[in-house]
Amino acid sequence: MAFSFNIKKPSNLSAVLQQATRKIRSNGGQLNGNEKEGYFSGSGVKGRYSVGNNILITITDKPVFAPKSLVISKITAFFSDAG
């Protein structure tokens, strides 16, 4: 079942997206997109994002055993300003 959540848009979105792409790909996943929208997958999680005042993340698929809170935490970390 799909679910969505918002995260704060980082101050330097372009750099954060580049960093997130490297991190996700180094873990065997994919992130494709730009500063407006994109999609990602990895570790059984699939989703998409769109950027407005915040970043809207929609998870379209996740492993049954993965708690929603863990998925949100991991995805938020990929899209944060922190290195």
Domain count, the chain: 1
Mean pLDDT of the region 19-38: 93
Share of the chain above pLDDT 70, in %: 96
- Looking at the domain assignment, is residue 83 inside a domain? no
Mean pLDDT of the region 30-37: 96
Task: Round the average pLDDT of the chain to a whole number and report it.
Answer: 92
CA neighbor of 50 nearest in space, from 11, 4, 83: 4
pLDDT of residue 47: 97
Instruction: State the CATH number of the domain containing residue 37.
Output: 3.30.310
Q: What is the pLDDT of residues 52-76, one digit of tens each?
A: 999 999 999 999 999 999 999 999 9
Would you say residue 6 has pLDDT above 80?
yes
Q: Which domain, by its residues, includes 49?
A: 3-78
